[in-house]
C-alpha cells in the first residue's frame, strides 16, 4: 500500500466579480454641507477659504500640506524625515492586524504616518515646524510620530530658530503600547533641551487635541494658540461625564472655554494664523 496518493485538484468555481463603484452623479462633489450651521455652499468657495465655512466660519479639518501652503512663505517649505515608517513591534492585532492597517491607511492617504515635518519661513523668519495629519489613524502618536516631533524640536535647537507644532490628535496609539507612551517623555525632554537656545516654541492646537499629545508637548508652548471651537483636553467630555457622573458646563474643553479660564493665550481663526505667527516670531524670534 502506498504511503501517499495523489489527489486530483478541484477547480474552484467561478465567482461573480464585484460590482464596480457607482459613477458619481452629475453635480455631486461640487457642494459642501457645513457641519456647523448645516447650510450648503460651493465646495470651491469652501476650499478657497481653507476649509472654513464662508457662511458661519466653522473650521473643518485641513490637510497638513495645505496648512503649510497657507502659512509659509512661497517656495520656502522643505519636507524632512519623510522616509520614516512605523513598524509593528508588538505584533498587534484587533479587528485587523496593525501592519495591514498601516498599509491600507498609506494607500488611502499617501502618508507614511500621522505627522509631517520640515523647515520653512514665515514672514521671512526661518522656522522648524510640523503638523499632525488627523486623516492618518486619527492623528494618533506612535514611535515614528514622537521621533518626528522630537526631530522638529532638535532641528530648531541645532539651527537656533523658532519651533512650531500644529497638534490634532486622538492621543497615544494603542497599537504600539508603551512605545507610544514613551514619546510623551521623549518630546518633553527635547523641549527641555531647546529652552537653552532661548527661541520661542509656539504650540498651535487644532480640533481635536487630546490624550498623550495634549498631556505632553502640546501644553508646553511658550505661546499656546488654538483655532476656534477646537476640542482640547486629556480625556474627552463624554469620558469625564461617565466618570464623575455629572453634566459638564456648555462648551467645556472647547478653545473658548479654555481661553476664558486662562489655559491658552489666544484663539486665532485660520485665515489670520499666518499674520499672527509672523507677528509673534518678529517679537520673540
Indicate the pLDDT class of residue 225, thresholds 50, 70 and 90.
very high
Query: Would you say 162 and 200 are in contact if contact means Cβ atoms under 8 Å apart?
Result: yes
Decide if pLDDT at 112 tops 70.
Answer: yes
Entry pTM: 0.87
CA angle 217, 280, 270 (to 5 degrees): 75
- The CATH number assigned to the domain with range 62-284 reads 3.90.226.10
For 44-65, what is the mean pLDDT? 93
Question: Residue 147: which H helix or E strand, with range?
Answer: helix 143-159
For 213-232, what is the mean pLDDT? 97
User: Residue 48: which region, alpha, beta or left (left: phi > 0; alpha: psi -120 to 50)?
Assistant: alpha
For 124-148, what is the mean pLDDT? 97
pLDDT at 14: 43
For 153-165, what is the mean pLDDT? 98
pLDDT at 179: 96
Task: Name the 3-class secondary structure at 80.
Answer: strand
148: CB partners within 8 A, 6+ apart: 81, 84, 113, 115, 117, 130
Each residue's pLDDT tens digit, 188-204: 999 999 999 999 999 99
b/e per residue 34-51 (b: at least 16 CB within 10 A):
beeeeeebeeeebeeebb
Interhelix angle 143-159/177-194, rounded to 10 degrees, is: 10
Q: Which of 106, 131, 136, 111 is nearest to 119 (CA)?
A: 131
* Count of CA atoms in the C-beta half-sphere (13 A) of 263: 19
pLDDT at 237: 86
Decide if pLDDT at 73 tops 60.
Answer: yes
Task: Using a pLDDT cut of 70, give the percent of the chain over it.
Answer: 90
Indicate the pLDDT class of residue 17, thresholds 50, 70 and 90.
very low
Distance of alpha carbon 137 from alpha carbon 102, whole angstroms: 9
Beta bridge partners of 93: 97
Each residue's pLDDT tens digit, 6-16: 555 444 444 44
Kindly report the number of other CB atoms within 10 A of residue 237's CB atom: 16
Distance of alpha carbon 54 from alpha carbon 167, whole angstroms: 24
Domain ranges of the chain: 31-60, 62-284
Task: Indicate the average pLDDT of the chain.
Answer: 91
Task: Using a pLDDT cut of 90, give the percent of the chain over it.
Answer: 84
Task: Name the 3-class secondary structure at 216.
Answer: coil
CA-based R_g, the chain, Å = 23
CA angle 208, 213, 214 (to 5 degrees): 65
pLDDT at 7: 53
Q: Which of 162, 203, 183 is nearest to 114 (CA)?
A: 183
Task: Name the 3-class secondary structure at 197.
Answer: helix
pLDDT at 26: 45
Beta bridge partners of 116: 131
Indicate the pLDDT class of residue 28, thresholds 50, 70 and 90.
low
Amino acid at each position: 500500500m502506498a504511503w501517499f496518493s495523489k489527489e486530483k485538484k478541484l477547480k474552484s468555481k467561478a465567482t461573480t466579480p464585484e460590482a464596480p463603484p457607482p459613477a458619481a452623479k452629475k453635480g455631486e462633489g461640487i457642494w459642501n454641507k457645513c457641519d456647523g450651521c448645516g447650510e450648503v455652499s460651493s465646495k470651491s468657495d469652501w476650499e478657497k477659504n481653507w476649509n472654513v465655512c464662508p457662511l458661519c466660519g466653522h473650521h473643518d479639518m485641513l490637510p497638513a500640506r495645505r496648512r503649510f501652503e497657507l502659512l509659509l512663505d512661497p517656495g520656502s517649505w522643505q519636507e524632512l524625515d519623510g522616509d520614516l515608517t512605523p513598524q509593528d513591534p508588538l505584533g498587534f492585532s484587533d479587528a485587523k492586524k496593525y501592519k495591514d492597517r498601516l498599509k491600507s491607511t498609506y494607500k488611502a492617504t499617501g502618508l507614511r504616518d500621522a505627522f509631517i515635518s520640515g523647515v520653512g519661513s514665515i514672514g521671512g523668519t526661518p522656522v522648524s515646524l510640523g503638523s499632525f495629519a488627523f486623516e492618518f489613524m486619527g492623528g494618533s502618536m506612535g514611535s515614528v510620530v514622537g521621533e518626528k516631533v522630537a526631530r522638529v524640536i532638535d532641528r530648531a535647537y541645532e539651527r537656533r530658530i523658532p519651533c512650531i507644532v500644529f497638534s490634532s490628535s486622538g492621543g497615544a496609539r494603542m497599537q504600539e503600547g508603551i512605545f507610544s507612551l514613551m514619546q510623551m517623555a521623549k518630546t518633553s525632554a527635547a523641549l527641555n533641551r531647546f529652552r537653552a537656545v532661548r527661541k520661542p516654541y509656539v504650540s498651535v492646537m487644532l480640533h481635536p487635541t487630546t490624550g498623550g499629545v495634549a498631556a505632553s508637548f502640546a501644553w508646553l508652548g511658550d505661546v499656546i494658540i488654538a483655532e476656534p471651537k477646537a476640542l482640547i483636553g486629556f480625556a474627552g467630555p463624554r469620558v469625564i461625564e461617565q466618570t464623575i457622573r455629572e453634566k459638564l458646563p456648555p462648551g467645556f474643553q472647547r478653545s473658548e472655554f479654555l481661553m476664558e479660564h486662562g489655559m491658552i493665550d489666544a484663539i486665532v481663526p485660520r485665515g489670520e494664523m499666518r499674520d499672527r505667527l509672523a507677528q509673534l516670531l518678529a517679537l520673540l524670534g
